[in-house]
Amino acid sequence: MVNQETIELQHKILEGTIHVFNRKGLKFTMDDLAMELGMSKKTIYKVFREKDELFLTMVDYLFDSIKESEKQIFENPDLTTLEKIRAILCVLPDSYKDIDFRQLYLLRSKYPQIYRQVEVRLESGWETTIELIEQGMKEGVIRKTQIPIVKMMLEATVEQFFQRDVLLENRISYNEALLEVTNILMDGIVKE
């Protein structure tokens, strides 16, 4: 059984990994991480046997944090249904706003197992968003929409961000891209 001290150490390593990743991308070394954390590589390897295991855990850690942020948005009584949908579609926890997610397109070729985990997480956990869209249709603030199509469009868009370097080539941040996708989905492209 994992004790609280181990969980706290794991979280500290994962947060350090996010900081090092943000500076060096996927090319960071365990030495870089040890230096960032001010601990030995041996300590890191006690928690994560290898870099791949660290990356897999980091994917879940990031997505779990995003889901927690979605929950907070969903439960916020001060937001309308439309505001909740808009916020959830482009949610990133504040602590991840500076992460260069554009680098993740490199996962597909260099770390296919980890990329597959990103795909699995992108394709799951849509219950809150679907519930809000259905609520918006009942309230009459969203037109009747085929939810599987909306879900597929969003998944495919985000997957493309991770499969290609289009954001890097066009100097668009991941946050800007998510916001633009959300605006297009919610408002369309027709100028009023």
pLDDT for 99-140, tens place per residue?
666 666 677 778 888 888 888 888 888 999 999 999 999 999
Percent of the chain whose pLDDT exceeds 90: 48
The domain locations on the chain are 1-49, 59-187
Pick 97 or 64 by higher pLDDT.
64
What's the confidence (pLDDT) of residue 81? 97
Q: State pLDDT tens for residues 28-60.
A: 899 999 999 999 999 999 999 998 899 899 889
Q: Specify the fold of 1-49.
A: Arc Repressor Mutant, subunit A (1.10.10)
For 59-187, which CATH class?
mainly alpha
> Global pTM?
0.80
What's the confidence (pLDDT) of residue 147? 93
- Dist. CA 151–CA 71, nearest whole Å: 18
The answer to whether residues 164 and 105 touch, using CB atoms and an 8 Å cutoff, is yes
What's the confidence (pLDDT) of residue 108? 75
